Amino acid sequence: MSYVVVDVESDGPIPAEFSIVCFGAVILDELLNQTFYGRTRPISERFIPEALAVSGFSRAQHLGFDEPKNVMENFEEWLEKHSKGRPIFVSDNPAFDWQFVNYYFHRFLGHNPFGFSARRIGDLYSGLVKDASKGSEWKKYRITAHTHNPVDDAKGNAEALRKMKELGLRI
């Protein structure tokens, strides 16, 4: 199995009513050089300007992005090429990121290569240090700045996971 660190930027809080703007993924390994970046055009007329602004794109730019079906097909091909066995979805906040990726995979491809579960980095860290109140302290191990470019954010999160592995997390 391969751990795949994913980050999503969207124009609202929930899939179907709002849309993915862009997302990034990184295979968790020593080099962190296997990355994916996708930008999808809106699937809904609805958007929250403040949510869209986090991505750094305008609505006009977002409307010109790629067809979601094509992006999800490309993402699945990338996963097949770069992951060993079943890919495991890992995120800073799978309650947000996974719901969008899961919805898009099911809507556009009819299945999700990640299956039906995900791992939250904060929970992994809490288990590592045996203290549930420390769930956000793992962020100190990011090297790449958290810029809201989803590849940068996924890479920073993967760097933190790599450090957690050095500290004894068995992944």
Tens place of pLDDT per residue across the chain (171 aa): 899 999 999 999 999 999 999 999 999 999 999 999 999 999 999 999 999 999 999 999 999 999 999 999 999 999 999 999 999 999 999 999 999 999 999 999 999 999 999 999 999 999 999 999 999 999 999 999 999 999 999 999 999 999 999 999 998
- Asked if residue 44 belongs to a domain, the reply is yes
For 60-73, give the DSSP string.
Answer: HHHHTSB-HHHHHH
- Asked if residue 112 belongs to a domain, the reply is yes
- Is the pTM value of this prediction over 0.85? yes
- Asked if residue 20 belongs to a domain, the reply is yes
Q: Which domain holds residue 118?
A: 2-166
What pLDDT score does 12 carry?
A: 98
Q: Total structural domains in the chain?
A: 1
Which has the closest alpha carbon to 62: 76, 81, 45? 45
- Asked if residue 171 belongs to a domain, the reply is no
What pLDDT score does 54 carry?
A: 96
- Asked if residue 58 belongs to a domain, the reply is yes
What pLDDT score does 43 carry?
A: 98
What pLDDT score does 78 carry?
A: 98
- Asked if residue 147 belongs to a domain, the reply is yes
- Asked if residue 54 belongs to a domain, the reply is yes
| Residues 6+ away with beta carbon under 8 Å from 123 | 135
Question: DSSP assignment, residue 79?
Answer: H
Report phi then psi at 99, rounded to 5. Answer: -60, -40
What pLDDT score does 143 carry?
A: 97
Residue 5 pairs with which residues in a beta bridge?
26, 90
Which positions are annotated as active-site residues?
148
- Asked if residue 35 belongs to a domain, the reply is yes
What pLDDT score does 146 carry?
A: 95
Residue 110 sits in a domain whose CATH number is 3.30.420.10
Whole-number Å distance between alpha carbons of 143 and 158: 9
